[in-house]
Amino acid sequence: MNRAFPRRKPGIWTTGDAWVWLSTAGAVITVLMLVGLVGLVSYNGLSALWPHQLAQFELVDGSKALGELKRTDEDMHRIQIKSGNRDLYGIDFRWIDDVNVSNRSFPENAWALERLEHGHFYGFLTNMNASSASIDGDLETAFAKALKTMALKREELNDLESELASINTSLESLNLELLDTVDKDKRTRLEALKTEREEAFEVLRVKVDGFRSELQSQYVTMADCNGRTKDIPLFSILRAYQPNSMSVFSRTGLYLSRMLDLLTEPPREANTEGGLFPAIFGTAMMVLLMSLFTMPLGVVAAVYLREYAKEGLLVRIIRITVNNLAGVPSIVYGIFGLGFFVYGIGGTIDDWFFSNRLPTPTFGTGGLLWASLTMALLTMPVVIVATEEGLSAVPKGIREGSLALGATKFQTLMRVVLPMSSPGILTGLILSIARAAGEVAPLMLVGVAKLAPKLVVDQQFPYFHPERKFMHLGFHIYDVGFQSPNVEAAIPMVFVTTLLLLVMVLGLSSIAMVLRQRMRTKYSGGAF
């Protein structure tokens, strides 16, 4: 390389080649970690819903085992299967030693049932008592038909039950009103209304109970691989399929329909089965409400700092403070939200407006509103910093042009500067949303729930209930993965949730980054 000193070829440490390679390794490891994490979550999340084949093992001692293959342990020479049938076996998973297996097959007629409780059932169809539908010939067709009718009837029952629930809530609000009312006439009127509603409730309740027990009387008899029979009410079967005889297309169809359920259904069985709809909805509502607070306030603060405040020590201190607040641990915001919003403001609101419900707190406990406010505070620095960046990217000449044309400062701001810096503001908004969607620690203190019985938006007046607790995708991961009684069975569900959250957060962040990049290149060239 260096002709002037040809005597000795310098070593790799002198030229720095070794360091270059090590630094390459640093970059490579970073990228591999990211790719690894995304790949791991994608693989596990996407495959969690896929209908897997059911393997049947004939064991040396004559018994059989049926289930989905989970993993093979090469060292110990054993296989783990998900045997399902929790109501029969008590456990979901089972290890089988290779030496004990005499035969392995994939029986075509094996059924997999998704049930309301006790997890999946894997086994064979033996008999059915469906009330009216006579079983002519083919048991399997009859079963499929019965399931279809049952699905319709289940919906009917759901409608009735929600009607029941709405009567119940109106009764509750009547009770609260009664507590407040002193006027005698009004009281008697309210009481009459109350008895009337109570009667209606009772009538409907009897009807619903009758309907439900009628539905529950129909059952199908299934046998597990060892011939143990179990009567399963048709009512509790959500989906039934024969995974070993399915084509790839029907598999894909099932996969897609499961994915749809995931996005639209509420969870079941302590959140380990079913859908994620309340969590998705809760996350979206929280983020939306948060944006309503954080956007205007953050933009105003940034406009003040960049356009109105006089550059000086104070502004520098404020700017450093804002930057620092972005680095304050999120749990600190959480505990602040708990002390200030929940117990401070919420407690006061309860004292003033909801004293008749005390000691049951209305606003004095964690809820959507407080969570959104806490998150707004937490993401405020993000919006401020991004907006400031956007404002500073607007060239001075443009402002001066506007002012020279006679516009006031405010007009310049509203008509010229803000529209031009909108990519920056948007970037801040999107980044804050991404941050809020993924942040869990503060939410645990100010209003997230493992299972929220009611959504924050429903058909009851006033239709939007910001005091209610809500579910959140990130907290769902923590809760199902760490607090559920059967963690191993829950892990696929956690991976699905993780994938969903990751797609959401990374998607939003990517959009923000693209926007920011565009903004930078747009103005970096010159005035226009």
Partner 1 sequence: MVPPYFVQESLVDRKTRRRIQIMDTGAKWMITLGGIAVIACMVVMIILMADVAWPLFKQASATKEHQAAFVAETVHYSFDDYFERAYFLDESGLLTVTSIPENEVVFQRELRSNARIMSAHANPDHVITCVWDDGTVTLESIIFKTEYDDQGQRSTRSNHETVRSFGDMGTGEAIAMVQDQSSVVVQETENGLAVHQVSMTEDLFGDIEETSSVEDIGLPGLIAFDVSHDRSQLVTAQTNGQLTLWALDPDEGVAVSGSAQLSGAIHDLTFVYGDASIAVADDHGLGIWMPLNGELLEIRSLKGHTSAFQKLIPSRRDKSVFALSSSGSVSQIHATSEREVLEIRAPFPLSSFMVNQQGKGIMAVTQGNQYWFWRLDNPHPDVSFKTLWLPVWYEGYPEPVFTWQSSAATDDFEPKTSLMPLLFGSLKGTFYSMIFALPIALLGAIYTSYLMDPKWKRWVKPAVELMAAIPTVVIGFLAALWLAPRLEDRVPAVFMSLLLVPIVVIVGMTLIQKWGKVRLGREFYWVMPLVALGVLLSLGIGEWFQQWMFDGDFRLWYFETFSKGVDQRNCLVIAFALGFAVIPIIFTISEDALSNVPAHITAASLALGATPWQTLRRVVLPIASPGIFAAAMIGFGRAVGETMIVLMATGNTPIMEWSIFNGMRTLSANIAVEIPEAPVDGSLYRILFLTALLLFVITFIVNTAAEFVRHKLSKKYKQA
Segment 352-391, which members bind partner 1 (CB under 8 A)?
Answer: 377, 380, 384
Least separation, in Å, of the C-beta of 395 and partner 1? Answer: 18
- Residue with Cβ nearer partner 1 (435 or 465): 435
Residues 413-472 contacting partner 1, CB under 8 A? 413, 431, 434-435, 437-441, 444-445
Phi, psi of 56 (to 5 degrees): -115, 125
Least separation, in Å, of the C-beta of 516 and partner 1? Answer: 10
Least separation, in Å, of the C-beta of 514 and partner 1? Answer: 9
Burial of 468: CB neighbours in 10 Å, binned 0-12, 13-18, 19+: buried
Least separation, in Å, of the C-beta of 480 and partner 1? Answer: 9
Least separation, in Å, of the C-beta of 47 and partner 1? Answer: 14
Kindly state the helix (H) or strand (E) to which residue 445 belongs, with its residue range.
helix 443-446
Query: Judged by CB under 8 A, how many residues of this single chain contact partner 1?
Result: 99
- Residue with Cβ nearer partner 1 (306 or 468): 306
- Residue with Cβ nearer partner 1 (113 or 301): 301
Contact 298, 428 (CB under 8 A): yes
- Residue with Cβ nearer partner 1 (66 or 490): 490
Contact 274, 151 (CB under 8 A): no
Burial of 164: CB neighbours in 10 Å, binned 0-12, 13-18, 19+: middle
- DSSP-derived secondary structure letter, 245: G
Which residue in the set 477, 496, 515, 519 belongs to the binding site for partner 1 (CB under 8 A)?
Answer: 477
- Contact between 301 and partner 1 (CB under 8 A)? yes
- Contact between 80 and partner 1 (CB under 8 A)? no
The rounded distance, in Å, linking the Cα atoms of 107 and 225 is 10
Sole residue written with tokens 């990049």: 517
Least separation, in Å, of the C-beta of 441 and partner 1? Answer: 4
Least separation, in Å, of the C-beta of 367 and partner 1? Answer: 16
- Residue with Cβ nearer partner 1 (63 or 408): 408
Which residue in the set 30, 63, 126, 162 belongs to the binding site for partner 1 (CB under 8 A)?
Answer: 30
Map residues 310-339 to x or -, x wherever contact with partner 1 holds by CB under 8 A.
--------x-xxxxxx-xxxxxxxxxx-xx
- Residue with Cβ nearer partner 1 (18 or 60): 18
* Joined tokens for residue 215: 């539905």
Residues 237-276 contacting partner 1, CB under 8 A? none
- Residue with Cβ nearer partner 1 (193 or 297): 297
The CA-atom distances, in angstroms, between 360 and each of 26, 176, 370, 417, 473 are: 55, 12, 17, 49, 27
Measured from the Cβ of residue 458, the count of other Cβ atoms closer than 10 Å reads: 15
- Residue with Cβ nearer partner 1 (28 or 292): 28
Which range, of 125-133, 209-217, 267-275, 295-303, touches partner 1 by CB under 8 A? 295-303
Give strand pairing partners of 115.
237
Residues 479-508 contacting partner 1, CB under 8 A? 481-482, 487, 491, 494, 498, 501-502, 505-506
Q: Find all residues with CB under 8 Å of 325, minimum gap 6, and list them.
A: 380, 381
DSSP 181-230: ---HHHHHHHHHHHHHHHHHHHHHHHHHHHHHHHHHT-EEEEE-TT--EE
Phi, psi of 238 (to 5 degrees): -90, -35
Kindly state the helix (H) or strand (E) to which residue 20 belongs, with its residue range.
helix 17-47
Least separation, in Å, of the C-beta of 454 and partner 1? Answer: 22
* Joined tokens for residue 240: 């039934």
Which residue in the set 20, 176, 192, 260 belongs to the binding site for partner 1 (CB under 8 A)?
Answer: 20
- Contact between 300 and partner 1 (CB under 8 A)? yes
Least separation, in Å, of the C-beta of 2 and partner 1? Answer: 7
Which range, of 16-24, 195-203, 223-231, 387-395, touches partner 1 by CB under 8 A? 16-24
- Residue with Cβ nearer partner 1 (271 or 498): 498
Least separation, in Å, of the C-beta of 62 and partner 1? Answer: 33
Question: ω into residue 462 within 30 of 0, thus cis?
Answer: yes
Judged by phi (left if over 0) then psi (alpha if -120 to 50, else beta), residue 227 lies in left
Residues 393-412 contacting partner 1, CB under 8 A? 403-411
